[in-house]
Amino acid sequence: MIAACCRGRGIGLSNRLPWVLEGDMRLFQRLTVGDGRNAVLMGKKTWLSLPQESRPLPKRTNFVLTSGYECHGARTVRSVSEAVSHTEAFDKTWVIGGGEIYRAFLDHAALEKIYLTHIDADFEFDTQFPQIPKDFICIRSDRQDPECENGLEYWLEVYARNTSPSLEARPRDQQSTDCPK
């Protein structure tokens, strides 16, 4: 799973990103393309929000979770379980939004990591990234060395599902001073 959010966990306004951060878009492309054997999974609203010339996202197999809309250039799936079974053959499958799709996958056992860019600014938004479940722990934070672009500071944090019984499950506010509470 990969997303970017502003303060308040906002991720979109009227089916658009409220900000322009080329550095974060390059990170998104680098991670989701990988070695070219990756898939991206999105909802219909996210698919339609992509510029026509960018559909499907190149060098990745595109899946759209929808209940009946035909997405030319993408494979459509109708449920989370169908999406998971169709994407098992890929090196990585990136859930790329929107809000409803993030919520549908956050508690699914197939989700192992969340890559979340935090933008240290307030934007108007109508779509929010859901709360990260308590069984995820922050394993990387660039908060102490943020990027700055267009007057906005932002940083990446990576969360992993804690599946190890040897790792003590701790409240997020006790994991690291670099990770958000």
180 — pLDDT class (breaks 50, 70, 90): very low
Q: What is the pLDDT of residues 125-162, one digit of tens each?
A: 999 999 999 999 999 999 999 999 999 999 999 999 99
Q: Residue 163: what pLDDT?
A: 78
Q: What is the pLDDT of residues 6-63, one digit of tens each?
A: 999 999 999 999 999 999 999 999 999 999 999 999 999 999 999 999 999 999 999 9
69 — pLDDT class (breaks 50, 70, 90): confident
175 — pLDDT class (breaks 50, 70, 90): very low
Q: What is the DSSP string of 49-87?
A: HS-GGGPSPTTSEEEEE-SS---TTSEEESSHHHHHHHH
89 — pLDDT class (breaks 50, 70, 90): very high
Q: Residue 68: what pLDDT?
A: 84
The terminus-to-terminus CA distance of the chain in angstroms comes to: 20
Which of 51, 86, 50 lies closest to 65, judged by CA?
Answer: 86
pLDDT above 80 for 72? yes
Q: Residue 20: what pLDDT?
A: 95
b/e map 123-148, b = 16+ CB within 10 Å: bebebbbbebeeebbbeebebeeebe
Domains of the chain from N-terminus onward: 2-174 (3.40.430.10)
> Considering the entire predicted model, what is its pTM?
0.90
169-178 average pLDDT score: 45
pLDDT above 90 for 118? yes
Helix (H) or strand (E) run with residue 99 in it:
helix 99-106
